[in-house]
Structure 1
Amino acid sequence: MNLNTPAFSSFTHDGLKLAFFDEGDPSGVPVVLIHGFASSANVNWVHPGWLKTLGDAGYRVIAIDNRGHGASDKPRDAEAYRPWHMASDAVALLDHLGIPEANIMGYSMGARISVFAALAHPDRVRSLVLGGLGIGMTDGVGDWDPIADALLTASLEDVTHDRARMFRAFADQTKSDRDALAACIKGSRDLVARSDMAKIDAPTLIGVGTKDDIAGSAQELAALMPRARALDIPGRDHMLAVGDRIFKTAVLEFYAEVAG
């Protein structure tokens, strides 16, 4: 077991080869981590210290590279990135590993995927941690078309839209396949009905940075759900909240309550 540089394996689902790591205590309670747009299991969960934090706490830590990201296959068809398809990848990983149910934690797009997984397979989800996405889950998070355009633009210097420039720079930093990401951003934006959020009975923690201008209110989303609580991550924006110590401490406390 190496909590710094995990070994990746792969499995096939929906005609795609998907990469993942499976680390920590093999007999520990499983936590499945689902990363955000233009990120990867390493960028979202290893580099910010989540693998070490959860591994040191005794959990079995599993993370998938979503289709279009990291070492997984990268289709170019936007339809392939609908959230229910990516949610089915995560559930198929549980099947592949023989895990009946797990704690599911997603950040940003990964939070959306986690909710679709919980709606489709409530029996597989022991708890939810939703990071970087609040009421935007149901109400939308603004116009993302400029991000798709920015991903397909020849140079970052040609991008003037602030949010699009941020994600294009992130995609360049992570050496991502920008054509696949453009398809992903077009296909993965389906909203969740407020009435559907109310159906999710799994204990849920929703963490959003107080300077996050994308996610929307964690409190508003939590209010829709029967067993959810909101967490403000002080002074953090959308990009920096994911690795915050306060967020990690809150997740460990949440898991101590619900994950046993």
Structure 2
Amino acid sequence: MRLHVERHPGADPVLLVHGFATTGALTWEATGWVAALAEAGRGAVVPDLRGHGGSDAPHDPAAYSPDLLAADLLAVLDDQDLARVDVIGYSMGSWVALALAGQAPDRVRRLVVGGVGTVEQFGRWGVEAVRRAILEGADSLPADSPLAPLLSSLREAPGVDRAALAACAEGMAQHPLPLPPATPAFSAPTLVVVGEADPVADGADEAARRLGAELVVIPRRNHITTLSARAFKQAALPFLGASVSL
């Protein structure tokens, strides 16, 4: 699996894991995260997950699961000669980051997961409905589906491989990542950050409890706007031991 990875200069780089139907650059550079880390003296490693951006994009659902994507991240850490890192994930990237911490707890120092709760959203809204929305348009989803605004621009986004995204959604739904106590807990200190108005993060308080994590809820922010919120960076950077000058 060939993965596109950007390495941004700075000490003690943070691994940044993007979510579904986006890229590392759109998630972490365009929203100011890489710049905020650089200002704090920290570098960043920003991969595109398989099926996304400049990385290989298989069309087989069997090529996608939290564990497979986490194994890709382990390969990235090895390639970048990084023995142990802090990790920030968002949305689907949070599930991948949690899988990484479960697979290789010795490689994850501290973990920040954003935009998730206890519910795997692709399975919740029906894999076939999600596939149809990806391939044909988000107007095929129910009006109250929180996935609709996330998928609405896919048909217009340049360079998006919609067949790969449909396979990714199906594969991830077939392998929902269990949280403790259903799966062994890992030792990395963990922070959960969600927007107050984010339906994708349903059950975030329970997820934080089961992860033994601190929970930060950002007022009036939804799934899309939480990512760029200054309050998110103000919570995450000190948690990772980085200074904040925002």
TM-score between the two structures when normalised by the length of structure 1:
0.85
Distance in 2 between the 1:144 and 1:246 partners?
A: 33
- Measured against aligned partners, the alpha-carbon deviations of 1:114-166 in whole angstroms (never above 9, x if no partner) come to 011001100000011000002226x987224222111121x55x525233532
Match of 1:221 in 2: 207
Task: State the match for 2:124 in structure 1.
Answer: 142
> Which residue does the alignment assign to 2:4?
19
> Which residue of structure 1 aligns with residue 35 of structure 2?
52
Is 2:172 the partner of 1:188? yes
Report the aligned-residue RMSD: 2.1
Residues 140 and 186 (structure 1), Cα distance of their counterparts in 2 relative to 1, 3 Å cut:
closer
Q: Is the 2:122–2:170 contact (alpha carbons within 8 Å) kept by the matching residues of 1?
A: no
Q: Structure 2 residue aligned with 1:209, among 195, 199, 205?
A: 195
What do residues 177-220 of structure 1 show as CA deviations (whole Å, max 9, x unaligned)?
11100000000131314315661210111001000011223221
Equivalent residue for 1:124, pick from 95, 107, 119: 107
Match of 1:200 among 180, 183, 186: 186
| In structure 2, C-alpha distance between the alignment counterparts of 1:92 and 1:84, rounded to whole Å | 12
Q: Is the 8 A contact 1:141 1:215 kept in 2?
A: no
| Bigger relative CO (Cα 8 Å, ≥ 6 apart) | 2
In structure 2, what is the equivalent of residue 159 of structure 1?
140
Q: Which of 62, 83, 86 is equivalent to 1:100?
A: 83
1:69 aligns with 2:52: yes
State the one-letter code of the partner of 1:17: R
Q: Which amino acid aligns with 1:143?
A: W
**Alignment partner of 1:172: what SS?**
coil
Contact 1:35 1:44 in 2 (8 A): yes
Letter in 2 for 1:238: H
Shift of the alpha carbon at 1:222?
1.4
Partner SS for 2:109: strand
Structure 1 alignment gaps of length 5 or more: 1-15
The whole-number CA distance in structure 1 between the counterparts of 2:183 and 2:202 is: 15
Change in Cα spacing, 1:192 to 1:142, as seen in structure 2 (3 Å) is same
Distance 2:215 2:68 in 1: 27
In the alignment, which residue of structure 2 is the partner of 1:3?
none
Where 1:214 maps in the other structure, the secondary structure is helix
Letter in 2 for 1:24: P
Equivalent residue for 1:235, pick from 220, 231, 239:
220
Could you tell me which residue of structure 2 aligns to residue 29 of structure 1? 12
Give 3-state SS (helix, strand or coil) of 1:67's partner. coil
- Name the TM-score, length of structure 2 as normaliser: 0.89
Quick one: which of 163, 177, 180 aligns to 2:161?
A: 177
- In the TM superposition, residue 170 of structure 1 has moved relative to its aligned partner by 3.4
CA contact (8 A) 1:105 1:130 kept: yes
Structure 1 range deviating more: 173-182 or 230-239: 173-182
Q: How much identity, in percent, do the aligned residues show?
A: 34
User: Which aligned segments of 4 or more residues in structure 1 are displaced greater than 3 angstroms?
Assistant: 162-165
Residues 49 and 213 from structure 1, CA distance in 2 versus in 1: closer, same or farther, beyond 3 angstroms?
Answer: same
